[in-house]
């Protein structure tokens, strides 16, 4: 997404059982876009860690629940709201942090048309 994000980091939000494997959010906070897999249960902690590492509390965050499924849902919020526990999300979901989230509304119509076309319901 030229002009919006030139680098991204993909990290786990759920360290392996048995300890270790914790992601140092300070190391990834500098990426334009941060993608967190398996982080729904720790979302507030992750958001607080990202804010403490320099991300803005006003930065957009998207949670893509059940991605690619017919009942997919996208929840968009501010990082600060997530940090304060005010955003309800159900697993499985992917957390996306960064300005790239702002194009979601622009792309939503295009993506819906593609989905309908793939299902044979819509033809452009």
CATH number at residue 90: 3.30.950.10
Q: Is residue 1 part of a domain?
A: no
Q: Is residue 20 part of a domain?
A: yes
Q: Is residue 123 part of a domain?
A: no
Q: What's the confidence (pLDDT) of residue 113?
A: 66
Record the pTM: 0.83
Of 38, 41, 36, 17, the closest CA to residue 25 belongs to 36
Q: How far apart are CA 83 and CA 47, in angstroms?
A: 5
**Out of 53-62, 79-88, 114-123, least confident range:** 114-123
Which is higher by pLDDT, 32 or 124? Answer: 32
Q: How far apart are CA 33 and CA 110, in angstroms?
A: 22
Q: How far is CA 13 from CA 23, 53, 59, 84, 110, in A?
A: 8, 16, 19, 17, 30
Q: Is residue 35 part of a domain?
A: yes
| pLDDT tens string 17-48 | 766 668 899 999 999 999 999 999 999 999 99
Question: What's the domain range around 31?
Answer: 8-118
Q: Is residue 2 part of a domain?
A: no
Q: Is residue 29 part of a domain?
A: yes
Q: Is residue 3 part of a domain?
A: no
Number of domains in the chain: 1
């Amino acid at each position: 997404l030229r002009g919006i994000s030139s680098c991204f980091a993909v990290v786990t939000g759920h360290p392996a059982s048995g300890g270790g494997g914790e992601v140092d959010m300070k190391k990834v906070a500098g990426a334009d876009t941060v993608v967190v897999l398996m982080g729904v249960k720790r979302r507030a902690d992750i958001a607080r860690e990202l804010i403490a590492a320099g991300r803005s509390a006003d930065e957009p965050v998207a949670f893509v629940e059940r991605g690619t499924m017919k009942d997919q849902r996208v929840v968009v919020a501010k990082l600060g709201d997530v940090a304060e526990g005010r955003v309800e999300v159900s697993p499985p979901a992917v957390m996306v942090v960064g300005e790239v989230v702002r194009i979601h509304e622009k792309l939503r119509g295009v993506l819906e048309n593609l989905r309908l076309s793939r299902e044979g319901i819509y033809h452009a």
